[in-house]
Amino acid sequence: GESCAQRIEKLKGEVRLMLDNYKEVDDYVDALHCLEIVDNLQRLGVSYHFEGEIKRFLNSIYNKRNSRRSSTYHAKENQESLLYAASLEFRLLRQHGYDIHAHVVSDGAHLEQQYHESLFNN
């Protein structure tokens, strides 16, 4: 069978593919999925294996954000998860040294407040 070292290399290759294949920052599901992958890699203490891939992914998020001067996430998405997505993006970009302002999370909080108000008004 396959040795542990071979299995580890295979899994590392799969993670690299997930992060490298992410091209379209407008895709909410893919963006959130990759942000969660980066977050999990950091929490597990293995993100150093994927520094280049993480940097390229976060650069694409940051560049897209700056070109439109707003969060990657839009009101058309499930508003309940917008604050989570915006705050995860904010935290990861800040941790990696990107110049990003806190209005990102406040925009998400405003959307979440609108969502909760709409629940009570119905």
pLDDT digits (tens, 9 = 90+) for 105-121: 555 545 555 544 555 56
- Counting Cβ atoms within 10 Å, is residue 31 exposed (0-12), middle (13-18) or buried (19+)? buried
pLDDT by residue (tens digit) across 6-37? 999 999 999 999 888 776 555 667 788 899 99
Return all residues near 26 (Cβ < 8 A) that are at least 6 apart. Answer: 64, 72
pLDDT confidence bin for 56, thresholds 50/70/90 = very high
Per the structure, the count of domains in the chain is: 1
Q: Is residue 100 part of a domain?
A: yes
Return all residues near 101 (Cβ < 8 A) that are at least 6 apart. Answer: none
* pLDDT, position 78: 63
Measure the CA–CA gap between 76 and 90, rounded to whole angstroms.
Answer: 20
Return all residues near 2 (Cβ < 8 A) that are at least 6 apart. Answer: 10
Q: Is residue 85 part of a domain?
A: yes
Q: Is residue 1 part of a domain?
A: no
For 69, the domain range is 24-121
Ranges of beta strands (E only) in 14-78 are none
Q: Is residue 13 part of a domain?
A: no
Measure the CA–CA gap between 66 and 36, rounded to whole angstroms.
Answer: 21
Q: What percent of the chain has pLDDT over 90?
A: 41
Q: Is residue 5 part of a domain?
A: no
Q: Is residue 46 part of a domain?
A: yes
* pLDDT, position 68: 63
pTM value is 0.73
